[in-house]
Amino acid sequence: MANFKELRTQNISKGILSHTYSDNKPFIDLTSPALEMINNFTQQDPLRAHYETSIVEALKKITNQHTDFILVVDDNKKLLGVVSSADLQSSKTMILAQRLNVARNDVSLRHVMTPLSNLTGVSMQSLSYACIGDALQTMEHRGVMFLLVTASNNEICGLLSAREISKKLQVPLHISPIANTFSEVMEQIDHPH
């Protein structure tokens, strides 16, 4: 990853989702434009689910929609966070169920999501000058699996997924989550990846 630069990121904690459309993606590699890998919410409506949706139901939705992630929203459709399909299938869900003293089926998205405050944003303008390797380098450096993409008005209009990039380009991921709170530090110690 030494050949790539890290993108300038931005705070997206007050971001709102934008709207939708669809197209086919050509053959790409790490030097291809980053715009090629964006899940553009103005071209295709992203999968969303209420924060109280069970992880079992969310996994069914992700499987049916053939997507890698689900956006977690509140009663007013405000974005709260993101959950990956890997998060829903992870052994962490059983650990969470045990901690909450509930059945695994009763664990909801709010328990497993990465909250908006822990996500990283990058502007569409920055991505227009970047390659996929730059985006992946940024995710590796920040310890995040997703980059939320923002329009000029700070509206969240897309998402880049490290897992999608890895899967599509057949490149390994070297992303270690960065703990943001003391409880996350303790969780890393108790249950390292």
What pLDDT sits at residue 178? Answer: 58
Q: How confident is the model at residue 191 (pLDDT cuts 50, 70, 90)?
A: very low
* pLDDT tens sequence across 65-76: 888 899 999 999
Is domain 34-190 classified as CATH 3.10.580.10?
yes
Cα separation of the two ends of the chain: 22
| Contact in structure between 84 and 161 (CB atoms under 8 Å) | yes
Q: How confident is the model at residue 160 (pLDDT cuts 50, 70, 90)?
A: very high
Higher pLDDT, 173 or 129: 129
Q: What is the model's pTM?
A: 0.75
Q: Mean pLDDT, to the nearest integer, of 100-107?
A: 86
SS3 label, residue 131 = strand
Domain coordinates in residue numbering, the chain: 34-190
* pLDDT tens sequence across 16-54: 787 665 555 557 889 999 999 999 998 989 999 999 999
DSSP 72: E
| Contact in structure between 147 and 122 (CB atoms under 8 Å) | yes
Within 13 Å, how many C-alpha atoms sit on residue 5's CB side?
Answer: 8
